[in-house]
A = this chain, B = another copy of it.
Amino acid sequence: MATRTDESVAARTPLSRDRILSAAIELADEEGIDALTMRNLGRRLGVEAMSLYNHVDNKEDILDGIVDVVANEMNAAVTEFDGSSGEWKSELRRRILAARQVLLRHKWAPGVIETRSAMSLPVLEYYDGVIGILRRGGFSVDLGHHAMHALGSRVIGFTQELYDDSQNDTIDEASAAMLERHMDRLPYIAELAAAALHVDPDSTLGWCDDQTEFEFSLDLILDGLERLHAAS
Contact residues of A with B, CB < 8 Å?
A: 110, 113-114, 116-119, 121, 124-125, 127-128, 131-132, 135, 141-142, 144-146, 149-150, 152-153, 155-156, 159-164, 167-168, 171-172, 174-175, 178-179, 182, 185-189, 191-192, 195-196, 207-208, 213, 216-217, 220-221, 223-225, 227-228
Contact = CB atoms under 8 A, between A and B. Distances in A.
13 contacts: A110-B162, A114-B162, A118-B174, A118-B175, A119-B171, A127-B189, A128-B189, A145-B195, A145-B208, A149-B208, A155-B162, A160-B160, A224-B224
A225 to B, nearest CB: 7
A189 to B, nearest CB: 5
Contact of A114 (B118, B161, B220, B228): B161
